[in-house]
Each structure stands twice: as C-alpha cells, then as structure tokens.
Chains A and B, each alone.
Chain A
Amino acid sequence: MTIAYDQSIAGDAETGRASTIERHIAQEKARARRKRMTNRLLAAGFGMFVLFLWWLFSALGLIHRLIIPPPGEVLSAFFRVASASYFWPNVMVTLSEIAAGFALGLASGVVFGVSVAMFESVRATIYPYLVALQAPPKIVLAPIFVTWFGFDEASKIAMAVVMSFFPMFLNTLTGLASVEPNAVKLMRSLTASRWQTFRYLLLPNALPTMMAGVKLCWTLAVLGVVVGEFVGASAGIGYLIHAFNFQLDISGVFVLILLLSIFTLVVYQLIENLEKKIIFWSGM
C-alpha cells in the first residue's frame, strides 16, 4: 500500500493504484503456486524415500524377496506378466465384471433410493428389510453366490452388486430427504406436482450426496469382483493373483495389485471430474 501512494505522488494516481493491485494479485497467485509446488515436492519426495528404503532393505537382504520382492524385480515382472498371452483375456474378464457390477449396483441403488424416498407405501413395505439386509458383512455371501451363479462372471457381478448397492441406495435416499423445508414450501405454493418437485428440487438437491455415493459404489464394486474371484473363479485378475500366490510369484502378485489400484484410482478421478461438472454450483 505504501508503494501505491509513493507511485501516485510520482505520476498518475489511478494508474499507479491499478498497477499496485495487479502486482498484488500476481504476488498472491505466485505465493499460492509456490505453496502447491512445495506440497507436491513433499509428497513426491516422500514417495521416492519409501521407494529408496524398499530398494535398500532388499539390497541389504533385510527383507526376504519372497515377502517383499525388490523394486527392480517387480518392474521386470510387469513386462513378463503384461506380455504373457493369458494377461489381457484375464484383465478383460475382470474389467467387464467390474463394469457390469458397478452399473447394476448404481442403477439399482438409485431406483430403490428414489422409490423408497418418493413412495410412502414402498418405504413402509421394503425399507425395514433393506436396512436389515445391510447388517451382515456382504463378503459372507461370496461362497453362496458361487454355488448359485457358478464359477463364471455372474457370481462376481452379483458380489459387486450387493457390495455397491447399499451406499448408492442410502446416499440417494439421504440426498432426497435432506431438503430445506422452505424450498418444499415454495414448491407447494407454486402448485408444483410431485414429479415437478422431484425434477426441479429434490433430484438436483440430492446430486452432491448421490455423487459421493457413486464414488463409494465404484470402489466397492471393484472390491466385490476381486473377492468373488478369490472365492471361486476360472479367470480374472483376482484369479491370477490367487494363482501367482500359490506359485510363490510374489512380484507377479505385486504387479497385479498395482495395476488394479491404478485402474481404480484413474476411474475414481474420472468420477470426481464428472462430479465437479455435474454439481458445478458447490465450487462457487
């Protein structure tokens, strides 16, 4: 500020002030940028450090390579696994199971959530059972599903659906219910129908909560498929992990875990980007 007044004495007051403001904004931006940079460097540095420790401990023979294989071995295992003829068919099996399970879990969660929220009779009839069904850990269903639906995709998809259904259902329900009473009053005063109230108020109002549900739904769909494949499968990434583990190919297991994590994270990020576009108003 002092600089601004000094300048204004020297020349045109308005221009001096404007340029001071501009400089101030530029400084603020630079500061924020530096801070972001520092934070990123910190995170990257820590990652490198852990990687280094991993390498060091392996090189010194402090960790047995059957427990945690050295980084170099994992890297070479990646090329070995990725170029194997069995790799892509198995990956495709898992990806299609995840996609189907996620889509079905999401869709059924939304349909049931909307029905229970919008229709009193549906709520009275099925809500207590849906809550009760949520109680047992869903993983116990995996062996039964293999019995019911077989060793192929169906049992894995079923597992992904039961895992991902509940968060989507509950978040849809909560989102639709958490509406400001005054907004409902406004809609009523405008003689809005139930459908109009849903379309203009309840649904958009529920979207932030529903998008949080979608993200949960996604990670649980992946989990459901892998669990299903562990329990009984003839193909898929979970099946491969199981097989590699039995062959004591730990670096191969590491490669598959890393690939699955990266895939899950990438899609998660895509959902988050979509979320920012859909609920654009929350960032304003």
Chain B
Amino acid sequence: MSQNTKKILIAEDDPFLVKIMANRLREEGFEVETANDGDEAMQKVKGCSYALLMLDLIMPNKNGFEVLQQMKEDHCNIPVLVFTNLSQEEDKEEVMSLGAKGYYVKSDIAIDELVEVIKENTKEKTEA
C-alpha cells in the first residue's frame, strides 16, 4: 500500500452513484477502485490491500450482508463503511454486528459529509 495515496474500494451497483463518489474521492487524493456487485467486491477484497471498503447493501449476486459475513469468515480486516438506502434500525444493528465501522443512509448524507467520513476513517487507519 502506498504511503501517500490510500486505496479505496467502492462496492455499489448504481453506476451513477459510483461515478459521483469515485470522481470526488479521486479529486480528494484517494486511489479508487469499484465493484459492481457482491462477487466482484469479494474478489477484489481478497488481496486485502484496501484502506477502506465502501459497501452498499442491496447489490446483485451477493448482497452487502453476505459480503460482510464472508469477510468475517475470511478474517479480512479491511475497515468497512456501509452506505445504503435501507434506513431501518435492524439493518444497522445487523451490519454493525457483522463488523462494519459505520452505517450511513445515502439520501440523508451530503457528498461533502461523505468525504469527511472517508477521510476520518482512513486517517485512523494510517495512524494505527
């Protein structure tokens, strides 16, 4: 992993949102890779070389819950932040119990806030 540029994986099936997030994060100096579904996300995560995984919950092939479960079983300790439009409290609880570091409802978060959250979470990682 490069010392200066932090590599982030965005697992999100909506290309529109992927584009906005990826562009903005690259602009902020991150190295960004994307996965369109759960399987792809799992494959990319296998190398374990990301500073952060941004994970959607509703995705084809493998949903976000399954990805988290798999990662937990594989002992892959890449920090995961969940960005979803599911806003029920039970979903949040389940995701957190599966080891996610944060849970954000996409429609309720501004893109600037999202960037702040990502920065905050990757900063912690390098310090640790």
B partners with A: no
Residues of B that sit less than 8 Å from A by CB: none
Residues of A that sit less than 8 Å from B by CB: none
